[in-house]
Structure 1
């Protein structure tokens, strides 16, 4: 049942790239408009979406960043899976 909920690896990685780009772009806007409330709210929402997506990716495919790396006995499991830039797909 858990595998039915498994997101497509390629689509999830693409979404992480999209939301990361949007967050970075918003952050650049905030460099020159630090008090823009709409931009601040947008940045907070994008940052949360990115963090949630990174956690979901790590859950199914292994960590992409240090923030989502596991600790303990299972911490090196991801080394056996294909790397994000290798062929994989869904």
Structure 2
């Protein structure tokens, strides 16, 4: 899977977790929604781990561990590249 596809999957799953989180704030006893939230959260964690293993950290300041050498300073950062222009 190319970098662009992986980032798009991460964005889509993050959207679902945020949406379900907001829903669960007003429907805290909806078991189906909780199960969906947990499922999407697991998927998101796996996708982020895969991305960081291949391309480096998505976030900094204690949210991601670093490999050697320190990769946070490698360009481009996730928000700086035109991924929609990249081909796989």
Q: TM-score, normalised by structure 2?
A: 0.81
Q: Give structure 1 stretches of 5+ with no counterpart.
A: 1-6
CA–CA distance in structure 2, aligned partners of residues 29 and 75 of structure 1:
41
Cα RMSD, aligned residues only: 1.7
Please list, as runs of the form range in 1=range in 2, the aligned pairs for 1:19-38 lying within 5 A after superposition. Answer: 19-38=13-32
Q: How many residues align?
A: 82
**Higher RCO, Cα 8 Å, sep 6+:** 2
Q: Give structure 2 stretches of 5+ with no counterpart.
A: none
Q: Is the 8 A contact 1:63 1:78 kept in 2?
A: yes
Segments ≥4 residues shifted beyond 4 Å:
none
From the two aligned structures, give the one with the greater helix fraction.
1
CA–CA distance in structure 2, aligned partners of residues 62 and 41 of structure 1:
30
